[in-house]
Structure 1
Amino acid sequence: MQCSYFDAGRCRSCTLMGSPYTEQLAGKQSHCQALLSDHAALEWLEPIASQESAFRNKAKMVVSGTARNPTIGILDADGHGIDLRKCGVCSPGLRAVFPVVAHFIRLHRITPYDVPHRSGELKHIIVTESPDGDIMLRLVLRTDQLVPRIRKHLPDLLAELPQVKVVSVNLHPEHKAVLEGDREILLTEQSTLNMRVNGINLHLRPQSFFQTNSGMAAALYRQGRDWVNELAPGSVWDLYCGVGGFALHSAAPGRTVTGIEFSSEAIASARLSSDEAGLQGMQFEAGDATAFALAAEQSPDLVIVNPPRRGIGEELCGWLEASDVRHVVYSSCNAQSLARDLAALPSFTARRARVLDMFPQTTHYEVMVLLERAG
């Protein structure tokens, strides 16, 4: 893939841009194998490739410039906007939204936030596209001052972009390097974006997490489902379950599945998906994954973990070591923290691993490992 923004030095976010894709994928496989080289029994499955471009289903874009001439993209080192509306890793559905939003900003005099001067209102737009082509649009504002104006003129935006189903305003009053704030104001009747994956309808609320590559998310959940069904556990925990992707794919007659996620928004989405599908034996609870495990009276047969980049940590590793859990399916977006966690689980043997290229054109990737208790 070639990118004019990268070639011109305007954006270097995709650090592998221009490298042959086969080399990118082979490099990620080699990197992961080197980090997990201590696990001699590990069988490496073929890595799963992504499409090279237009794979992102979510864009977090900085709004800068002026109300008359807004930029949608990133900031340079001095805090000035660089427009990236034609970014080639974003899906065509995302790219179709950017110019319409820019026109909306101009037409209704919505002042972008000026980082160097700490003034203005609109900080970011966060756009997500479902596999069916529907859109969620979130506007991150410094205050609620412009909410009435946006609400008043929103029908015009929706008429021009009928694929936009969910619109919200996020309030982020602080001047710091955090993308969004805690308060969300929903502006549409529909509150969730339907993310249909492998025939399962996942519901994404504005502040919930979903993988940024829908094709790779589907492959990730299929791999987890296949390993779980092969082992046929009677009980499964999905820790860090998000909107319930792994948990819902693990549902089966006679099996109990419990999903734990800190975000109450994500748990509400997971419950809705489970109820709609009429699944039995499903339970979702909001809370800390490690605290839940430590307080539990019984261990499940199998645990799925899909933690943030920091990994599951020493405390949860210690609980797994002392538990009766027979198998762990570990999905990681950071092979370095994965390697550290596996070293803290000497009672488990890493049996299989698979790299999934969730983030082409960058050094990042997802890797799944199947662990089995030794002996």
Structure 2
Amino acid sequence: MIAAGELQCAYFDAWRCRSCTLLETPYARQLAEQQSRIEALLPAMPWDAPHASAVGGFRNKAKMAVAGSLAEPTIGILAIDGTGIDLQACPLHEQPIVDAMPVLEQLIRDARITPYDVPGRRGELKHLILTSSPDGELALRIVLRSSEALPRIRKHLPLLDGLPLASVSANLQPEHKAVLEGDEEVLLAGAGVLVMRINGIGLRLRPRSFFQTNTAVASALYRQATEWIDEADPASMLDLYCGVGGFALHAARAGRSVAGVEVTTEAIDAARETAADMGADASFTVGDALQVGAHGVDLEGARAPELVVVNPPRRGIGPLASRLDASAVSRVVYSSCNPVSLARDLAAMPGFEPVRGRVFDMFPHTEHAEVLVELQRR
């Protein structure tokens, strides 16, 4: 329940889940303190006002650990001792996710998918991963230790008919370690694609694809980056760590040539399909962004892109920073989920000057943040 602009959470109040470490801090103060922390970490630059989030109902993905027993399964998180804490009504999640939880609990019981017991190292069902699209559709991934339960799951899939599911798949993760998913994905129902309609672009998510967890704030992030790119008006643009092509395909709508590099094959396949639907002048390549020169992309010569977008994982861009600094690229737009690695990368790029920045509160009630910075050649 959301009251007076703040989030009320019974799980937090009962000390069942304290993941939202800043929940007792008024949201306006959360934003102000987040802005101050980030400004203190990064070089001086002009800052736009931070982009706020809804305080609840904003998470488009639920990664729920399953524990307990067939008679009383828990869907939520694990305590320190490995026992389950049920969080089916977590107020951070979008409503279609919350509405689906009781149905998924019934599937566990009826299909007799034994929850995985972490301390005992036995059982089958490890996680349920549910993603919600702006159109209200859902994609479900069932993470199992083995294929043993698949026949029963298939038999009981009609239980899910009342849910707006675009895709159901099972992921097999046989190892006993803190790894969310395994290498094998088995499609059980649907096309295996969830369309995330963002700013009029139908980005395609396959089961392993990454997408920002806050759809509304991600939409604002893409709009802001596109506005900066359009102002710079580069003839060519390269999107590194491009995922399903969000930054590149937004920029392509202005008619410019764009390219993207991403290590995940299914994300590149999805980006190519969306580009074809749009009729965009876009090319996408499977590869490691740190080895970008090996993918036919020239950063040093006359064919270097005028502008590069980077959207790396939390570790940042590492040695790519010095390569960009020595390149012929004239402008960089950097989207970071970790201000500490962003600060380190910017220090390794003295040839670029920060033009402006903006904080996007992708993760309310925590100290995590997404930061967008524009850099130009000095």
Instruction: Give TM-score, length-normalised by structure 1.
Output: 0.96
Note the C-alpha offset of 1:189. Answer: 3.3
Structure 1 gaps of 5+ residues are none
Matched residue SS, 1:250: helix
Give the structure 1 partner of residue 334 of structure 2.
Answer: 330
Counterpart pick for 1:318 among 317, 322, 343: 322
| Residue 289 (structure 1) aligned with residue 289 (structure 2) | yes
Counterpart pick for 1:17 among 18, 23, 39: 23
Note the C-alpha offset of 1:327. Answer: 0.3
Contact 1:293 1:316 in 2 (8 A): no
User: Take 2:17 and 2:190, find their aligned partners in 1: how far apart are those partners?
Assistant: 37
Counterpart pick for 2:83 among 62, 80, 83: 80
Contact 1:224 1:329 in 2 (8 A): yes
Give the structure 1 partner of residue 359 of structure 2.
Answer: 355
User: Take 1:2 and 1:253, find their aligned partners in 2: how far apart are those partners?
Assistant: 43
Matched residue SS, 2:268: helix
- Listed as ranges, the matches of 1:125-144 within 5 Å are 125-144=128-147
Matched residue SS, 1:186: strand
Give the structure 1 partner of residue 167 of structure 2.
Answer: 166
Contact 2:103 2:159 in 1 (8 A): no
The one-letter amino acid paired with 1:52 is V
Note the C-alpha offset of 1:160. Answer: 2.4
Structure 2 gaps of 5+ residues are 1-6
| 1:58-114 residue CA offsets vs partner (Å, 9 max, x unmatched) | 000000011111000011111000000110111111101111100111122110000
Note the C-alpha offset of 1:293. Answer: 3.6
Contact 1:303 1:329 in 2 (8 A): yes
User: Take 1:189 and 1:331, find their aligned partners in 2: how far apart are those partners?
Assistant: 33
Identity of aligned residues (%): 57
Give the structure 2 partner of residue 176 of structure 1.
Answer: 177
| Residue 371 (structure 1) aligned with residue 375 (structure 2) | yes
Question: How many residues get paired?
Answer: 367
Give the structure 2 partner of residue 3 of structure 1.
Answer: 9
Contact 1:68 1:109 in 2 (8 A): no
- Listed as ranges, the matches of 1:224-243 within 5 Å are 224-243=225-244
Note the C-alpha offset of 1:18. Answer: 2.1
User: Take 1:31 and 1:115, find their aligned partners in 2: how far apart are those partners?
Assistant: 37
The one-letter amino acid paired with 2:364 is P
Contact 1:74 1:81 in 2 (8 A): yes
Matched residue SS, 1:324: coil
User: Take 1:254 and 1:362, find their aligned partners in 2: how far apart are those partners?
Assistant: 38
| 1:263-291 residue CA offsets vs partner (Å, 9 max, x unmatched) | 00110111111111121x20001100120
User: Take 1:156 and 1:61, find their aligned partners in 2: how far apart are those partners?
Assistant: 19
Matched residue SS, 2:308: strand
The one-letter amino acid paired with 2:68 is G
| 1:347-371 residue CA offsets vs partner (Å, 9 max, x unmatched) | 0000100000000011111000000
Contact 1:262 1:289 in 2 (8 A): yes
The one-letter amino acid paired with 1:144 is S
How has the CA–CA distance of structure 1 residues 75 and 252 changed in structure 2, closer, same or farther, with 3 Å as cutoff? closer
The one-letter amino acid paired with 1:283 is S
User: Take 1:318 and 1:252, find their aligned partners in 2: how far apart are those partners?
Assistant: 30
| Residue 248 (structure 1) aligned with residue 249 (structure 2) | yes
The one-letter amino acid paired with 1:305 is V
User: Take 1:96 and 1:293, find their aligned partners in 2: how far apart are those partners?
Assistant: 47
Matched residue SS, 1:339: helix
Note the C-alpha offset of 1:44. Answer: 0.5
The one-letter amino acid paired with 1:266 is A
Contact 2:140 2:167 in 1 (8 A): yes
Give the structure 1 partner of residue 52 of structure 2.
Answer: 49
Q: Aligned-pair RMSD on alpha carbons?
A: 1.1
Note the C-alpha offset of 1:252. Answer: 4.2
Give the structure 2 partner of residue 271 of structure 1.
Answer: 272
Matched residue SS, 2:189: coil
Contact 1:293 1:319 in 2 (8 A): no
How has the CA–CA distance of structure 1 residues 110 and 248 changed in structure 2, closer, same or farther, with 3 Å as cutoff? same
User: Take 1:257 and 1:114, find their aligned partners in 2: how far apart are those partners?
Assistant: 47
Contact 1:294 1:319 in 2 (8 A): no
How has the CA–CA distance of structure 1 residues 372 and 8 changed in structure 2, closer, same or farther, with 3 Å as cutoff? same
Contact 2:167 2:193 in 1 (8 A): yes
User: Take 1:217 and 1:176, find their aligned partners in 2: how far apart are those partners?
Assistant: 31
Give the structure 2 partner of residue 197 of structure 1.
Answer: 198
Counterpart pick for 2:310 among 305, 314, 331: 305
Note the C-alpha offset of 1:253. Answer: 5.4
